Amino acid sequence: MSPIRSTYDWILKQAEGPAASAVLFALAFAESSFFPIPPDVMLLPMAIANRERAYRFALICTVGSVLGGLLGYAIGAFLYDSIGLWIIDTYHLQAGFQRFHDQFNEWGVWIILAKGLTPIPFKLVTIASGVARLNLVSFVLAAAATRGARFFLVAFLVRRYGAPIRVFVEKHLTWVALGILAAIVLGFWVVLR
């Protein structure tokens, strides 16, 4: 059994377990402030395994992501010179971060709305929002709107087309996993170029 298949099977099993929601929340929270892996990698298989709870999983991702985004905002606003720089340096995102920061001065909330739907690391958006001291209420509303749209779209697609999606994912699991990995790498590449 390949590592991808065993990981997928493990996630499907966890979707039924008592800790599924907590793990999903923690991943969404961490990704918005410091962790490189988006929660979609867990949301999709969990929603496939338990289609009736797909919207609940999307809500958990959204709340976790917005609360994690608040941590990212706080890092940018109050701890940029220590923790913020460390996160940016760890992922080699200095050039992309500077570009985001400059764009925030001109576009503000629109940056959050646009970037929250893409594979661009959301932690850049949240930390840059804090550095730019974007209005906190505007930040929270924009983060909730864009992250909610992303996660609820996944939930909607799984609810509507669940059986064919599950068959497709399981038949082409390696390619699906590589596609998700490519989207993550593309997001980082866009930021780094």
Give the model confidence (pLDDT) of 108-145 as tens digits.
777 787 777 766 778 888 988 898 888 999 999 999 99
Collect all residues with Cβ–Cβ distance below 8 Å to 44 and sequence separation of at least 6. Answer: 154, 158, 169
pTM of the shown model: 0.77
Mean residue pLDDT of the chain comes to 81
> Where exactly are the structural domains of the chain?
3-192
Q: Identify which of 36-40, 41-45, 63-67, 93-97 has the greatest average pLDDT.
A: 63-67
Collect all residues with Cβ–Cβ distance below 8 Å to 127 and sequence separation of at least 6. Answer: 33, 72, 73, 75, 76, 80, 84, 87, 88, 97
